[in-house]
Amino acid sequence: MRARREGMMPDTFDSLDRPLRDLRISVTDRCNFRCTYCMPKEVFGRDFQFLPSSALLTFEEITRLARIFVVEHGVEKLRITGGEPLVRRDVEKLVAMLAAIPGLKDLTLTTNGALLARKARALADAGLKRVTVSLDSLDDSVFKSMNDVDFPAERVLEGIEAAREAGIVPVKVNMVVKRGVNDASVVDMARHFKGTGHILRFIEYMDVGTTNGWRMYDVVPASEIVRMIDAEMPIEPTEPNYRGEVAQRYRYRDGSGEVGLITSVTQPFCGNCTRARLSSEGLLYTCLFGAAGHDLRAMLRSGQADSEISAFVGKVWRRRADRYSEIRTDATSRRPKVEMSHIGG
């Protein structure tokens, strides 16, 4: 049921009656990890041509677009992503600029955590309220094999602690689970973060992009993950916080916190997807599994007015009919799709 929120601009709905609520903003296509399920070294090696700095949206351009999405289309949440966003120089300046947008309710950032210990205080001072950190195992041999740059888990944990000390809490910790790779780490991860106040979320391995060699066989279903945790530390389902929340929430029966399950493969949530994505060079994507984006940078740099850009964004969203995860098969997984390292998760 559509409803206009009191005191806000009219919402923008797509063809499946989904409002535009979230904008994920990639600030770079570069990353200091080479995670095998996202940015495999065989593809993103020394000779890979990343975007030149002149192609990236400036902080001013990003802020201008973000303001249009928030003020004109009802977006409530902005998430800064990459690549790895903390490799973008002075990204805390962008955080401060975005935090000042009137009407914005939530500003967060997703990171691999490698630079978080160094940057957490500056990010908090700039106005960042929440952060999501990727961590796929506490076992160094497993984690290093997955990030493929020999980076230890302990340094990611130091970043999470730095975020807590800076007041960016609770931290959400994302673990992509791949069968035969890190599924044996599920219970250890749950045990480690239980009672810490941080929220651990398990993500089913997805066929984002075309370079990670995805197979349905490699997916560990959320139902299996729930059984693994429940056998050691009893959990029970709880209600979502809001429409469009990605994770299915489960709380520990002893009251010591919760975990989340992101079930894009086995239990798709396309019907409640409220997310748009902006790539680092200014392409607007209406789905994580999209093949092509809509060029907003060209509109910015050709001198078009905010009203013209806003009208174009509205037109794109109203035509949106994406529901890739609902139609996914082994065959559709081979379709051309934008890489996750290019537009974030």
Whole-number Å distance between alpha carbons of 53 and 110 = 21
* Predicted local distance difference test score (pLDDT) of residue 322: 84
Render pLDDT for 228-239 as a digit per residue (tens, 0 to 9). Answer: 999 999 999 998
H or E, element range at 327: helix 324-327
* Predicted local distance difference test score (pLDDT) of residue 265: 87
- Binned at pLDDT 50, 70 and 90, residue 4 comes out as very low
Is 11 part of any domain?
Answer: no
Give the mean pLDDT of the chain.
91
* Predicted local distance difference test score (pLDDT) of residue 3: 46
- Binned at pLDDT 50, 70 and 90, residue 128 comes out as very high
* Domain range enclosing 275: 22-343
DSSP 24-87: EEE--S--S---TTTS-TTTSSTT--PPPGGGSPPHHHHHHHHHHHHHHH---EEEEESS-GGG
Place of tokens 């009407």: 103
- Binned at pLDDT 50, 70 and 90, residue 331 comes out as low
* Predicted local distance difference test score (pLDDT) of residue 211: 73
- Binned at pLDDT 50, 70 and 90, residue 6 comes out as very low
Average pLDDT over residues 175-181: 97
Among 1-10, 101-110, 128-137, 283-292, the minimum mean pLDDT is found in: 1-10
Place of tokens 């961590």: 135
- Binned at pLDDT 50, 70 and 90, residue 285 comes out as very high
* Predicted local distance difference test score (pLDDT) of residue 334: 66
Q: What is the CATH number of the domain that holds 171?
A: 3.20.20.70
Whole-number Å distance between alpha carbons of 170 and 161 = 11
First-to-last alpha carbon distance for the chain, in angstroms, is: 28
Give the single-character DSSP code of 258: E
Whose CA is closest to 37, among 152, 113, 138, 136?
136
Q: What is the reported pTM?
A: 0.92
Is 2 part of any domain?
Answer: no
Whose CA is closest to 278, among 4, 92, 29?
29
Among 84-93, 303-312, 318-327, the minimum mean pLDDT is found in: 318-327
How many domains, the chain? 1
Render pLDDT for 59-70 as a digit per residue (tens, 0 to 9). Answer: 999 999 999 999
Is 10 part of any domain?
Answer: no
Average pLDDT over residues 215-236: 96
| Contact present, 25 and 278 (Cβ < 8 Å) | yes
Q: 60 CB contacts (<8 Å, ≥6 apart)?
A: 97
Asked if the model's pLDDT at residue 289 lies above 70, the reply is yes
